[in-house]
A and B are shown apart, each in its own frame.
Chain A
Amino acid sequence: MTTSVLLKGGRLVDPSTHLDAIGDLLLVDGVIAQVGGSIVAPAGAEIVDCHGLVVSPGMIDVHVHLREPGREDVETVATGAHAAVAGGFTAVCAMPNTKPVTDNQATVGFVKRQGEAAGFARVYPYGAISVGQQGETLAEFGEMVAAGAVAVSDDGKPVENSHLMRTALEYAMTFGIPVVEHCEVMALAQGGSMNEGIVSARLGLKGIPPEAEEIDVIRCILLAKRTGGHVHLCHLSTKGSVDLVRWGKSQGINVTAEVCSHHISLTEEACDGYNTNAKMNPPLRTRTDVAALQQGLKDGTIDLLVTDHAPHHYDEKEREFADAPNGIVGLETALGVNITYLVEPGILSISELVDRMSCAPAKTFHLPGGTFAKGSIADVTVFDPAKEWTVDPKAFKSKGRNTPYGGHVLKGQAICTIVGGKIVYRLVD
């Protein structure tokens, strides 16, 4: 039996097909069937009224931590994927720093199956770059890709051994996957718990200088130049990193980059009062860095937006700042934060936002979706860019409550999320 969903009267925004117009969108049997104009509903179609709303290709977050296997008390693939669709994401890429590390085909397959069983957002596993993320020997990229891995990363820590990084970039070329680096020079960053600057000096906390990130950024760019491999740089946080990536791209080097919603919206001042919900790695930086990251996102130096969704148990964050774990949840606030801090001030248009959150992630990671091209998978995000709402961590679908945005009023919220032509989330007010 044919199943169809008709999205009526929304603003269809799909930069991949240069579309930005009011019209209808018809999804039939899990694919995009008809785009634009007035479409007559086929018999039995479910109709979603989208007047006043934006209808875009499904948002994709290529950087999340779903904690399964190993820390199911903190998040599971299912709760994370549920949080994803509540935030408007139709797909997420799950980082492999699980316990045990996702460094083999069996664990990759497990994560993928857990995602399918949950039936919310699509879950694409990452494989580790090195066995056990120990930075010593390459993990089996080929088998992991065959089991469903879409990229490799040792995220959570850098690949410190430059020879291993070079080899990973070369070896990954066979499988056409990006090598994704968490940029950090441990010798400079070790023991640090926030940006090095006046706030860290005042609070008496060891700082992490921007160069801890930037030195690894240029190392990876140079290795990508040497090898021709595709390096994707995680969660850039400094102006220097943006400048270096801009240079790399100008040289035609195969480098792509991402930025987190928190790094384009908050500064180191958020750590004041030892607020552990503002502690993450890389840390929140300065106003100058935030402006440079926003500009980099605008001019295409930074390809895409991510959350680095990192749930922690509440009492893990309820402790001394230096001892608290890094990371914040982001799946359910990212769209609102991005609209509030990028679209509202006029830095990105809605179309550019959709590109950075949907089209660019799909293109960079060679994922299906990110387009309304006929016959593509019917992953769709319907959101209200003007809706104001107050962040209530208790209402999160994620098990994590660790957000610096609790109580903040954000503009923009997902209204309806469709994965494979099936409505998997609807906002209940």
Chain B
Amino acid sequence: MSSLLGKDLVGLAGLTGEQITTILDVAEPLREISERAIKKVPTLRGMTVVNLFFEPSTRTRISFEFAEKRMSADTVNVASSGSSVSKGETLVDTARNLEAMRIDMVVVRHGASGAAKFLAERIESNVINAGDGTHEHPTQGLLDLLTLRQRLGALAGRRVCIVGDVLHSRVARSNIWGLKALGAEVAVCGPRSLLPNAIHEMGVRVFGRIEAAIEWADALNILRLQLERMQGGYIPSLREYNRVFGVTSARLAAAKRELLILHPGPMNRGVEIDSDVADGPHSVILDQVTNGVAVRMAVLYLLAGQKASLADVAKGGAA
């Protein structure tokens, strides 16, 4: 068990700036492993990691799987569709069954907020939250922080605005806590119907207009607009959303400084973000994906509590 993070990573809320910085510092050199011809180090050899996905996910699951495999862990993917209620087996039973098979770590994605913590409290294995309901998605938050740090340097005093459906976004919450822990100024921007009612109490600035957010920010993290939000009556139409809140190159042209553009993916081009912005010079969206693997390797490494020094790992030395 790692003394740095404790047993699990269920969220960035509650982590200190120092802890987060350490994770990012560990992730930085691990990026290089993925650039090698032989993308493998033996760090987690012999460890069993279960990727337990109760919700469909391509990007996050693949990113975790690459991270695990490049560190030589044995991985099993368990995909379970359907809601937890309609499923015969409860989450606690699933957890106990996995534990009975003597595993070391569980990476869990679940539709219910709190599911990762629930699991973490009931099994001895390390639990990594790969997204729980509308609560947190800590590794996404970390890879966003790493990407920002690479471009902006130290984040203290930097201004990051999270744009879109903050109400239903686990990515937004992890970013808010992580950015604040590192001393950044955080804002959110979106229709009021897609922001939590108590957003002011989260210590963030609120912009009602995207133009004002663009004027203020050093970076925009643009959230995916889930199509079901329209059916849920939160916004009238995707078309109007794009017209009022869409990040377009015309709007960015009015910015006082060059803005970094982040998006956790998958993008709805032409809805929350226009293609020329997504593919433009200020987009760091693919850097985020690359950093995702490194950050997840770092979290796996730190939770596994490896004794080997980081230098050894980066060199490909024995675990």
Contacts and interface: CB of A to CB of B under 8 A. Distances in A.
Contacts of A207: 196-197
Nearest to B196: A201
Given A315-B90, A320-B112, A320-B115, A204 B198 contact: no
Q: How large is the interface on A (under 10, 10 to 19, 20 to 34, 35 or more residues)?
A: 20 to 34
Contact of A202 (B13, B117, B197): B13
A205 B135 CA distance: 7
Q: How large is the interface on B (under 10, 10 to 19, 20 to 34, 35 or more residues)?
A: 20 to 34
B118 A320 contact: yes
B318 interface: no
B65 to A, nearest CB: 25
Contact of A197 (B112, B118, B197): B197
Interface string B180-213: 0000000000000000111101100000000000
Contacts of B7: none
A209 interface: yes
Given A203-B135, A204-B173, A273 B198 contact: no
B201 A320 contact: no
B248 interface: no
Closest 5 CB pairs of A and B: A204-B135, A320-B112, A274-B114, A201-B196, A204-B134
A319 interface: yes
A373 interface: no
Contacts of B110: 320
B136 interface: yes
Interface string A97-118: 0000000000000000000000
B170 interface: yes
12 contacts: A197-B198, A201-B196, A201-B201, A203-B113, A204-B113, A205-B134, A205-B135, A207-B197, A273-B117, A321-B113, A321-B114, A322-B112
Given A320-B115, A322-B113, A204 B170 contact: yes
B255 interface: no
A201 B202 contact: yes
Nearest to B85: A323
A274 B132 CA distance: 12
Nearest to A273: B117
Contacts of B84: 319-320, 323
B90 A201 contact: no
Most chain-B CB neighbours within 10 Å: which of A197, A202, A321?
Answer: A202
Interface string A305-335: 0000000000100111111000000000000
B92 interface: yes
Nearest to A199: B198
Contacts of A202: 13, 173, 202
Interface in A200-244: 200-207, 209
Nearest to A320: B112
Nearest to A197: B198
Contact of B117 (A197, A201, A274, A322): A274
A420 B132 CA distance: 54
A173 interface: no
B143 to A, nearest CB: 19
A201 B198 contact: yes
A321 B112 contact: yes
Contacts of A321: 112-114
